C-alpha cells in the first residue's frame, strides 16, 4: 500500500507571504455617509475615529489611512473620490486589507461591488465587512457578498422609488423648489417660497425688452457683460444660453411647469429631459410674476419664428442678419479692410458674393453709410407716420387673420385622433384574429402614412399661425415706437434701429430699400 505524506502550505495563496512570517498587514478603512446632514456628519466623524483606533489597536496590523466620502451616494463609484483613491492605492501595492462597516457602505451597486472586489483580489488585497462578517478571501465570501450587494442595491432602488413618489406627490400638490443661488429675480422666503427681488427683476424685464426689440440672446449677453452686470451665478461673463434659459422660463410669468427632467436610472442618477415619458404638472399663478403673461407669450412666438439655416438669425453685430443682398437674397457680413494700417475700416458685403461661378453685383457698404441711410429712411417713415398707422389699422385684421388656419388646425387634430384610433383598432384585430399579414401590413402602412401627413400639415399650420401672430405683435410694437418719435431723428440710435428695422435690401448703390417691422418699405 502506498504511503501518503501531507506537505503543509508555507506560502499564503492570496498574499504570497510566508505563513510563518510575522510581517504586519497594511490595513486601511473606508467610511461613507450619503447625505451632508448634521446627524450624518456626526456618524461620519465617528466612523473615522473608530477605525483609526481599531486598526492602531492591533499588533499585527499597520495603519495606512481612513479613506472617506461625505454626502456621496453609494449607487456608483464615479464621483467617490475617497473610494477611488483607496482602490488606486491598493492596486499600487500600498494596502493589504480594507475594512468597511458594511457592504452597503462599500457600494449599493452589485456590479460595481463585485468588479472592485475581484480586481482587489487579483492584486492580493482582501476586504472585510464587519456587519456581515464577510472576508473576501474566504471561499464563501463572494457568494455572501453577491447576496448582500444585491440586497443593498434593492434597498437603494426602494429608497429611490420612495423619494421619486414623494417628489411627484409634491409636484401634484403644486409644491416645488428652485436653486435660488442661480435664479435671477427671486429670493428665498421664510418658508422656501419665491419672493421678488426688485433689483434683479429689473434686469429680467430688461432682457425680455431687449429681445422683443430684435436683439438675439447672444447680443443681450454681450451687452450685459459689457455693462458689468453679474450673471445669476455671480460670474462676470454672460453667455447666450443663460439669456435663452431666462427667456424660456415660465416662472417669470408667475407659473411653474414641474418635472421638466426626470431620473432615468437610480444607479447612475442620469437625468433626461421629460418629453412625455412621465407626468408633468403646470401650476398657474403659483407666485408673483416679473413678466406679464402677454409679454412672455410674445417672446416665445418670436423665438419660434427665428429659423436656423443658410440665412439664420445672427446678432454678432447690430447689422448682422439685417442686410440682404438684392441679387441672391443672402445676408451681408462684415469684412475688415486694411486691418493692419491706419486706413482700417469695416465694410459689409454679401456673404455669398464670390460663391459659385457668377458673383453678386451688389455693392459693399460702410457702417457710416448704413447709419446715414437708416436716418433718411426713419425720417421719411416718421414724417408719414399718421398715414402709415392708419393704413396698418385698416388692413391688420385681414393680413394677419388666423381664423381659417385655426379651423384647419382643429380639423387636423381631430383627424389625427381618428386615425390613431383606427391604427390601434387594426393592431388589436391582428392580435385577436389570424389575418393575412401582407394585407394587414398594407392596411397598417396606409393608416400610418395618413397619420404622418396629418401631423406634418398640423405642424406647418401651427407654425404659420405662430408666425402671423408674431409678425402682428412685432408690427404693433414698431408702430408704437414710430408714434413716439417727434421731430427729426438726427443721430443713429441702436435701440431705434432694433425697434424699427426688419431688414434692409441692397439692390444697388443708389437703390437701398428699408423694410420696417410694420411691413412698410422705403427706398433711399
Task: Identify which of 37-51, 72-86, 161-175, 220-234 has the greatest average pLDDT.
Answer: 220-234
**CB distance 38 to 108 below 8 Å:** no
Under the banding of pLDDT at 50, 70 and 90, the label for residue 200 is very high
Residue 311 pLDDT level (bands cut at 50, 70, 90): very low
Q: How far apart are CA 109 and CA 143, in angstroms?
A: 15
Q: Which residues of 435-464 are buried (b: 16+ CB within 10 A; e: fewer)?
A: eeeeeeeebbeebeebbeebeebbeebbee
Nearest to 380 by CA among 273, 187, 520: 520
Q: Which of 6-20, 86-100, 264-278 is predicted least confidently? A: 6-20
Cell of 79: 464621483
Average pLDDT score over the chain: 82
Could you tell me the three cell numbers for 306? 427665428
Between 193 and 296, name the one with better pLDDT.
Answer: 296
Three cell numbers at 356?
Answer: 459659385
What is the distance between the alpha carbons of residues 350 and 505, in angstroms, rounded to a whole number?
A: 11
pLDDT, position 457: 94
Residue 122, C-alpha cell as written in the block = 487579483
* pLDDT score of 159: 63
Q: Which three cell numbers stand for residue 169?
A: 406627490
- Give the pLDDT band (50/70/90) at residue 15: very low
CATH number for the domain formed by residue range(s) 25-160: 3.40.50.1390
Q: Is 140 exposed, middle or buried (0-12, 13-18, 19+ CB in 10 A)?
A: exposed
Q: What is the mean pLDDT of residues 84-101?
A: 91
User: What's the chain's length in residues?
Assistant: 524
- As given in the structure block, the three cell numbers for residue 152 are 443593498
Q: Which residues pair with 100 in a beta bridge?
A: 30, 129
Distances (CA, A) of 407 to 259, 402, 455, 471: 32, 9, 15, 20
pLDDT in tens, 101-153: 887 777 766 667 778 888 888 888 998 988 888 888 876 766 776 676 666 66
Q: What share of the chain is helix, strand, coil (3-state, %, to 5)?
A: 50, 15, 35
pLDDT, one tens digit per residue, over 33-58 is 765 444 444 567 788 888 888 898 88
Please give the pLDDT value at position 354. Answer: 77
C-alpha distances (whole Å) from 442 to each of 361, 386, 437, 454 are 54, 62, 8, 19
Phi then psi for 336, rounded to 5 degrees? -105, 125
User: According to CATH, what is the number of the domain 190-304?
Assistant: 3.90.1750.20
On whether the CB atoms of residues 301 and 473 are closer than 8 A, the answer is: yes
Contact between 153 and 73 (Cβ < 8 Å): no
145-187 pLDDT, tens per residue?
667 666 666 666 666 666 766 666 666 666 666 666 678 988 8
Query: Mean pLDDT across the stretch 199-210?
Result: 92
Q: What is the pLDDT of residues 395-447, one digit of tens each?
A: 888 888 999 999 999 999 999 999 999 999 999 988 888 888 889 999 999 99
pLDDT of residue 42: 54
Secondary structure element (H or E) that encloses residue 493, with its range: none
Average pLDDT (332-340) is: 84
Domain boundaries, the chain: 25-160, 190-304, 365-524
Q: How far is CA 113 from CA 15, 118, 295, in A?
A: 21, 9, 54
For residue 435, the model assigns a pLDDT of 82
Q: Which residue, chain included where needed, has cell 394587414? A: 440
How much is the pLDDT for 103? 78
Percent of the chain with pLDDT over 70: 79
Amino acid at each position: 500500500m502506498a504511503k501518503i505524506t501531507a506537505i503543509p502550505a508555507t506560502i499564503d495563496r492570496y498574499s504570497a507571504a510566508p505563513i510563518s512570517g510575522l510581517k504586519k498587514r497594511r490595513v486601511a478603512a473606508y467610511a461613507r455617509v450619503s447625505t451632508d446632514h448634521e446627524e450624518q456628519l456626526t456618524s461620519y466623524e465617528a466612523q473615522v475615529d473608530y477605525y483609526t483606533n481599531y486598526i492602531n489597536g492591533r499588533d499585527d496590523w499597520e495603519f495606512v489611512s481612513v479613506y472617506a466620502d461625505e454626502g456621496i451616494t453609494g449607487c456608483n463609484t464615479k464621483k467617490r473620490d475617497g473610494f477611488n483613491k483607496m482602490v488606486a492605492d491598493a492596486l499600487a501595492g500600498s494596502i493589504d486589507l480594507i475594512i468597511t462597516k458594511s457592504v452597503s457602505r462599500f457600494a449599493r451597486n452589485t456590479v460595481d461591488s463585485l468588479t472592485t472586489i475581484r480586481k482587489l483580489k487579483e492584486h492580493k488585497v482582501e476586504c472585510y465587512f464587519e456587519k456581515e462578517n464577510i472576508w473576501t478571501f474566504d471561499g464563501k465570501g463572494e457568494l455572501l457578498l453577491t447576496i448582500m450587494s444585491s440586497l443593498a442595491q434593492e434597498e437603494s432602488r426602494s429608497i429611490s422609488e420612495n423619494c421619486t413618489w414623494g417628489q411627484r406627490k409634491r409636484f401634484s400638490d403644486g409644491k416645488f423648489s428652485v436653486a435660488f443661488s442661480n435664479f435671477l429675480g427671486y429670493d428665498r422666503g421664510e418658508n422656501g417660497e419665491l419672493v421678488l427681488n426688485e433689483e434683479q427683476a429689473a434686469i429680467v424685464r430688461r432682457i425680455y425688452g431687449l429681445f422683443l426689440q430684435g436683439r438675439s440672446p447672444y447680443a443681450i449677453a454681450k451687452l450685459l457683460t459689457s455693462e458689468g452686470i453679474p450673471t445669476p451665478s455671480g460670474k462676470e461673463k454672460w453667455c447666450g444660453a443663460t439669456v435663452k434659459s431666462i427667456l424660456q422660463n415660465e416662472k417669470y410669468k408667475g407659473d411653474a411647469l414641474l418635472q421638466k427632467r426626470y431620473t432615468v436610472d437610480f444607479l447612475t442618477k442620469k437625468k433626461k429631459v421629460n418629453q412625455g415619458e412621465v407626468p408633468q404638472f403646470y401650476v398657474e399663478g403659483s407666485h408673483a410674476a416679473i413678466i406679464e403673461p402677454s409679454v412672455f407669450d410674445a417672446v416665445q412666438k418670436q423665438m419660434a419664428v427665428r429659423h436656423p439655416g443658410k440665412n439664420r438669425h445672427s446678432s454678432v453685430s447690430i447689422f448682422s442678419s439685417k442686410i440682404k443682398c438684392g441679387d441672391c437674397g443672402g445676408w451681408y457680413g462684415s469684412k475688415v479692410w486694411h486691418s493692419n494700417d491706419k486706413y482700417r475700416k469695416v465694410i459689409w458685403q454679401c456673404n455669398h458674393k464670390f460663391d459659385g461661378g457668377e458673383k453678386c453685383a451688389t455693392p459693399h457698404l460702410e457702417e457710416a453709410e448704413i447709419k446715414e441711410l437708416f436716418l433718411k429712411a426713419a425720417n421719411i417713415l416718421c414724417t408719414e407716420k399718421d398715414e402709415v398707422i392708419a393704413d396698418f389699422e385698416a388692413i391688420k385684421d385681414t393680413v394677419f387673420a388666423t381664423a381659417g388656419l385655426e379651423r384647419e388646425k382643429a380639423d387636423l387634430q381631430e383627424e389625427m385622433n381618428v386615425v390613431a384610433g383606427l391604427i390601434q383598432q387594426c393592431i388589436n384585430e391582428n392580435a385577436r384574429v389570424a389575418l393575412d399579414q401582407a394585407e394587414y401590413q398594407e392596411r397598417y402602412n396606409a393608416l400610418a402614412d395618413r397619420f404622418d401627413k396629418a401631423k406634418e400639415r398640423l405642424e406647418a399650420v401651427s407654425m404659420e399661425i405662430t408666425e402671423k401672430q408674431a409678425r402682428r405683435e412685432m408690427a404693433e410694437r414698431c408702430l408704437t415706437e414710430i408714434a413716439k418719435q417727434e421731430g427729426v431723428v438726427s443721430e443713429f440710435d441702436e435701440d431705434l434701429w432694433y425697434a424699427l428695422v426688419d431688414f434692409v435690401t441692397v439692390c444697388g448703390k443708389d437703390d437701398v430699400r428699408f423694410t420696417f417691422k410694420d411691413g412698410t418699405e422705403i427706398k433711399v
